[in-house]
Amino acid sequence: MKIHYVPCLEDNYSYLIIDESTKEAAVVDPVEPEKVVGVAQQHGVLLKLVLTTHHHWDHAGGNEKLKQLVPGIKVYGGSKDNVKGCTDSVENGDKISLGADVNILSLHTPCHTKGHVSYYVTSKEGEDPAVFTGDTLFVAGCGKFFEGTAEQMHQSLCVTLASLPKPTRVYCGHEYTVKNLQFALTVEPDNARIQQKLSWAQQQRQAGLPTIPSTIEEELETNPFMRVDLPDIQKKVGCHSAVEAIREIRRLKDNWRG
């Protein structure tokens, strides 16, 4: 399994997931379809599937055009999300195959949108798995609670995604890492892992390089929204439960002018 990131718009990422034995590929959130088709051609792969994380235009807005460019392509999207161009809706726990070696599991991760789906991808080759988290989980952050509740975001981040194997690579929908880590330091100014990762992320961006992938393990160490089960974090933000804390940290982030 090979994964290639495709920078789109100002700060979005689409991703190409390639089954190397068959040269078949899936694309995650192809908002710039012509660009995605070009990258697929460069790698000599056949686009078979679209994996849409959620219905927002900067993720699903390229689906209809991609269907014109690649007739017969299947477009997956959450059954509770009104995804443009969707041909196959998925529920939590549905399985999709790509080529001979790649398996994809859909995980319902609601809050940013009601039907947001993350895609957990494994291969028979045995390399570390990957999860494509759209706008639910960012590196060191999470999406705004547009259509859901703090309870849902806590479940999505701290139960569903946190329970994936720690080496799982995290590929998110936007390049927001530097700002997210700067904010994370306002919550945990003494967290050395956040300080180190911020310094690394700034170097990456100055060199024009991405800050993805992260890993579930790194997120559990540096992402304030995934650390709300810790009593220390709850205390720091003046809360008595994980759900209260995730709500309060989101409120602080929404009002933060870093």
232 in catalytic set: no
Using left for φ > 0, alpha for ψ between -120 and 50, and beta otherwise, residue 200 falls in alpha
What separation in angstroms does the CA of 143 have from each of 77, 97, 200, 206?
Answer: 18, 28, 22, 24
Q: What angle do CA 93, 2, 177 make, to 5 degrees?
A: 75
- Which of the following is catalytic: 55, 116, 154, 174? 174
Q: What is the largest CA-CA distance in the chain?
A: 54
**For residue 258, is pLDDT > 90?**
no
Point out the least confidently predicted range of 31-40, 119-128, 138-147: 119-128
118's tokens:
């993350």
Give residue-wise pLDDT tens across range 77-124. Answer: 999 999 999 999 999 999 999 999 999 999 999 999 999 999 999 999
pLDDT for 49 equals: 98
Is 55 designated active site?
A: no
* pLDDT tens digits, 41-91: 999 999 999 999 999 999 999 999 999 999 999 999 999 999 999 999 999
- From the candidates 55, 112, 116, 154, which is the catalytic residue? 112
Torsion of CA 127, 166, 140, 244, to 10 degrees: 150
Given 19, 29, 58, 81, which residue is catalytic? 58
Q: Are 105 and 97 in contact (CB under 8 A)?
A: no
Residue 135's identity, in one-letter code, is D
Q: Is 54 a catalytic residue?
A: yes
Q: Is 43 a catalytic residue?
A: no
Where residue 194 falls among pLDDT bands split at 50, 70, 90?
very high
Structural domains in the chain, CATH included, are: 2-255 (3.60.15.10)
The one catalytic residue among 55, 56, 108, 154: 56
Of 54, 55, 108, 116, which one is the catalytic site residue? 54
> pLDDT > 90: what percent of the chain?
98
Q: Which of 19, 29, 81, 135 is the catalytic position?
A: 135
Q: Determine whether 154 is an active site residue.
A: no
